[in-house]
Amino acid sequence: MSGLLLDSHVLIWYVDGDPRLSAVDAMMIRKTEHIYVSAATVWELTVKMTLGKLPPRSVRDLAVEANCKLLSISPEHGQAIASLPRHHGDPFDHLLLAQAKVEGLTFVTHDGILSRYGVPVLLV
């Protein structure tokens, strides 16, 4: 598998046309054939919405609007977390990086520390 796995904030910026995602980066995402959103991202954003940190909306609809495929969480993804260093403590990021590693995807994020994990990362 090849393509992009979008971090939660990148998904929101992409769908909303947020200027924090440059026009060049948005175009690059749009031109990529295989774009994925993790089931972990659905969970993370739903938790943030439930806590009032984000406005309520359907994360599934966000993924559809962004022309993304949903990437389920597999046992291999969970096991791959053990092979990652611990540069920071966000369990969602660790799972997303493990998914990108196992599936051969490039992880698209704004979080610079995530480029230190030995997984292909596109910083936007």
pLDDT tens digits for range 24-66: 999 999 999 999 999 999 999 999 999 999 988 888 888 888 9
| Tokens read off for 115 | 């480029």
Whole-angstrom distance, CA of residue 45 vs CA of residue 115: 22
104 token code pair: 């051969």
Higher-confidence residue: 63 or 110? 110
Domain that holds residue 23: 4-123
CATH of the domain at 87: 3.40.50.1010
What are 64-105's pLDDT values in tens digits?
889 999 999 999 999 999 999 988 888 999 999 999 999 999
Q: Total domain count for the chain?
A: 1
Q: How many CA atoms are closer than 13 Å to the CA of 34, on its beta-carbon side? A: 13
Q: Compute the distance between CA of residue 100 and CA of residue 113 in angstroms, rounded to an integer.
A: 16
Of 96, 112, 110, the residue nearest 9 (C-alpha): 110
pTM (2 d.p.): 0.93
Determine the pLDDT at residue 1: 66
